[in-house]
Homo-oligomer: A and B are copies of this chain.
Amino acid sequence: MAGSDLRTFFDPKGIALIGARSSPGFGYGIPIVLKHHGWEDRLFQVNPKGGQLHGMKVYESLDEVPDSVDLAVIIVPAPAVPAVLEMVGKRGIRHAVIESAGFSEIGTEGRALQDRARDVAVKHGIRVIGPNCVGVVNTSNKFSTVEVIDESMEPGSTAIIAQSGVFGAIMLDMLHEYWLHISKAATLGNRMDLDECDLLDFFHEDEATKVIMMYLEGAADGKALRETLDRVARDKPVLVLKSGRTSAGRAATASHTASLSGEDQIYDAVFKQTGAIRAGSLEELVEMARVFSTQPIPKGNRLAVITSSGSLGVMATDTAVSCGLAVPELSEATAHRIREGAPGWMNVRNPIDVGPSPQFPVALAAALDDPGVDLILAITVLPYAIFRAVTSRGSTGENWFGHIEKIKAEGPSKPMVVCAVGHNDFVEKMREISGVSVPVFVAPEPAVKALASLHDYAKFCGRL
């Protein structure tokens, strides 16, 4: 289907919220969020009881809502869904998010109910997201069919496709804590109609989206997923967390969003062949998204490690080499530049262990300039007692390590990340001097792995 068809889900002219209610639940919370974000004039709550909710009229029937309504958000009990869809179809609405649970994920009976609902949707030509999901979020117009906190509505460039509604919701809850902001999100649930391929195609064409993050338990259609990724992943990075790796894990997915995961090796092969980047864990997915959404694609595999801790430099080097990066000798010119003004004990190698010297910003700038360096890891580590003593005398993290964001701005074409280990206050200061353009990690291994995934992608796309 054409990607443009899905636009209504993310940017509707009018929304009928079927199942608005005065007691706790989605039907109570979603209108509050929509009103809060300025959708009051385009939101039409529907409940046979009528009346008022949140200071807005409740329509007793779908017949009463205006013609501008092009999206139905359905939050009624599962058994009522087919009849509601029938009314939606008759009203001429062609897009529906079904959030209700109790369909194929609960067994045979639910599966039959879902089939009946699908028949109604097909008959009327209604495109459906769900059931058993929390629908969509669009940060650019602040539209959402799920209760999200304000922090999650800050616009960013990462799109989320999540098979599970709860998973999508908790990602929205936590990503802002990693300074990661999203463009749009879609949770798919039981995929009665639209699936991950439709959303991949849509986000492929979506200008606000630079990176696509996807959580999948099993493909709706393996062949279609392969073909879609083949189209999309080369243009826009697609980061995938695919669970159900093991047979026990696969068995567990069956009762959840009602898909049977395929064999893991096949998925692995599909991701590798199409250039989709597979995350090994939830944390890896988030960490890769932070790097892909902020950093350029590297032109080679040569990593410079600038560190104030020898130990962490060694750990980073181990991880880098294990992940296909090189940690080569620095050029004579770069070494010379760093050595100027450096104390006698400093070994100017790579990793560049500046220890407690003032050479950190010098080394950082030199590595950015060195044509023999493709990626940069800055390990900013300082025992808190020292940091506290330094700052109490009016100095700052910036005086010690340089203003990392500004230094990076001088060499924007090279990916760079920071690793700060230690006390929370210290890590926070490092985030401040790194800004939004340089992600800060709290351990060396994940920082290097995220950089290495950028290199993997560059290699796949033939950009090296």
A5 within 8 A of B: no
Q: Looking across the interface, which residue of chain B has its beta carbon closest to that of A315?
A: B243
A296 within 8 A of B: no
Given A246-B321, A317-B248, A283:B173 Cβ within 8 A: no
Given A29-B385, A149-B423, A249:B345 Cβ within 8 A: no
Chain B residues within 8 Å of A246, by CB = 317-318, 321-322
Total copies of the chain: 2
User: Which range holds the interface residue count of chain A?
Assistant: 35 or more
A260 within 8 A of B: no
Q: Looking across the interface, which residue of chain B has its beta carbon closest to that of A177?
A: B424
Chain B residues within 8 Å of A251, by CB = 349
A179 within 8 A of B: no
Chain B residues within 8 Å of A353, by CB = 252, 255-256
The answer on a CB contact under 8 Å between A311 and B215 is: yes
CA A170 to CA B423, docked complex, whole Å: 7
A106 within 8 A of B: yes
Chain B residues within 8 Å of A394, by CB = none
Q: How far is the CB of A49 from chain B (nearest CB, A)?
A: 21
Chain B residues within 8 Å of A245, by CB = 318, 322
Q: How far is the CB of A319 from chain B (nearest CB, A)?
A: 8
Q: How far is the CB of A282 from chain B (nearest CB, A)?
A: 5
CA A33 to CA B322, docked complex, whole Å: 41
Q: Looking across the interface, which residue of chain B has its beta carbon closest to that of A149?
A: B384
The answer on a CB contact under 8 Å between B318 and A244 is: yes
Chain B residues within 8 Å of A29, by CB = 385-386, 389
A430 within 8 A of B: no
The answer on a CB contact under 8 Å between A256 and B318 is: no
Q: Looking across the interface, which residue of chain B has its beta carbon closest to that of A174?
A: B422
Chain A interface residues (CB < 8 Å from chain B):
24, 29, 33, 101-102, 105-106, 110, 134, 146-149, 163-164, 166-167, 169-170, 172-174, 177, 215, 217, 241, 243-249, 251-253, 255-257, 280-283, 308-315, 317-322, 326-327, 344-345, 347, 349, 351, 353, 381, 383-386, 389-390, 393, 421-424, 426, 443-446
